[in-house]
Each structure stands twice: as C-alpha cells, then as structure tokens.
Amino acid sequence: MELHADFSARVLIDTRDAPWVASPQPGVERRMLDRVGEEVARATSIVRYAPGSVFAEHEHALGEEILVLSGVFADEHGEYPAGTYLRNPPGTRHAPRSSAGCELFVKLRQFQPGDDRQLCVDTRAAAFVPGLVPGLRVLPLHEFGGEHVALVRWAPGTRFQAHTHWGGEEILVLEGVFSDEHGHYPAGSWLRSPHLSRHQPFSDPGCLIYVKVGHLQPDPAR
C-alpha cells in the first residue's frame, strides 16, 4: 500500500475528516496520513483506542514515535496522559493498551540509523523557551542528525520570517489556527512540506503545533 508516498509533494489533510480504518486488533483504528507498506509499514497515522482496547505485544524494528492527543495511553511500563511524547527506538517491545480510551499521533519505522534514544516527556509540565521571534515559545523534544522535533506555541498575532526547510517540515496543528501564504490550518490539520519547500508562517488567533524538520530527504523510505 502506498498513501501520500511521494515525499517530494506537499500534503495537507484535515485529520478530523479522514476515515477511520480498522487495525488487526479489535477496538484500535487508524486515520492513515502517509504509508509505505501493508501492516508492517513506514506510516504516519492518528490512532484511536476504544476504552478497554489492548494491542498485542510487538517489537518496533525501526522505531515508534507517539504524541498522546487525548485520553490515557498505557503499556507495561506506565501510563501516559494527553500531552505525553514518547520515542521507542528500534528493538524495543511493548504491549499497549488504554483503559479509558485515547487518541495518538503515531509515526512508525522512521528512525534514522543510530537514533536509539528512548524518551518519555510530559509536555504539559515541561518549560517552553523563547523562540526566534517575539510571541514564539518552543519546547524541544528530540534531535538527531539533521532532524529536530518540538512543540511550538504561537501567541496571537505572531509572524515569522520567510524561510526554506532543508529536509522538509511536518506539522500537526494541536490548538488554534496556524497559517501561511498558502492557507489557514485549524486544529487537526496535518501538513507535510518537502525538502527545500519555503513559506512565511503566522498565526492571528494563536496556536500550538507539533513540528518536525529535517527528516524528509529526497528518498526517506527505509
């Protein structure tokens, strides 16, 4: 299966309108954003666990990245409420579940070789630092090689300078409305902009975004 597998193309999806697709585990569904492969795939998805759902124990051969969007996600290592950022590097195993139900932003099989750092960050308790322009505050989450992952909070009326993304950019709008010269992106919008793409972002009402840059080289499939 290939879905939005041309990583040289810009993609914009309103994840709130994307269809839910059943997984092999009862009670676990995905909204597929991009995918290269079948059940074992390089994939970016919104994943929903119904209350009481359990996923079979499995190994992450090429890593797993998770941002808990709502509810409480759990495995044998702990419980992770909304706002938790997780990185499970290649070779790690777990048996995930959710007693109350949850929604997750999940990226599978996208770790670079040598990126073996395991992370669990409570982003709601972590301190944001000033960004490059007034009104911008940043919570760095991970970096390896040229890849950088962060949450970025934009105060109302914040403007950023036009810039080019070496290695591309991926954004999930978590709160508010993010904008650039190409359009306006409310909460739930997912954008993937390719290597050497350029824009001038801003936010009139303010917003919170997940952003990853530097990971979309011309041939990112692994």
- What pLDDT digit, counting tens, does each position of 129-160 carry? 999 999 999 999 999 999 999 999 999 999 99
147 Cα distance to chain centroid? 13
Average pLDDT, the chain: 95
Provide mean pLDDT across the span 30-49: 93
Which CATH number does 2-122 carry? 2.60.120.10
- Measured CA to CA, the distance from residue 222 to residue 211 in angstroms comes to 21
Cα-Cα-Cα-Cα torsion 210, 71, 83, 157, nearest 10 degrees, comes to 60
Which CATH number does 129-213 carry? 2.60.120.10
Percent of the chain with pLDDT over 90: 91
What is the location of CATH 2.60.120.10 in the chain? 2-122, 129-213
Cβ atoms within 10 Å of 126's Cβ, excluding its own: 14
- What pLDDT digit, counting tens, does each position of 183-209 carry? 999 999 999 999 999 999 999 999 999
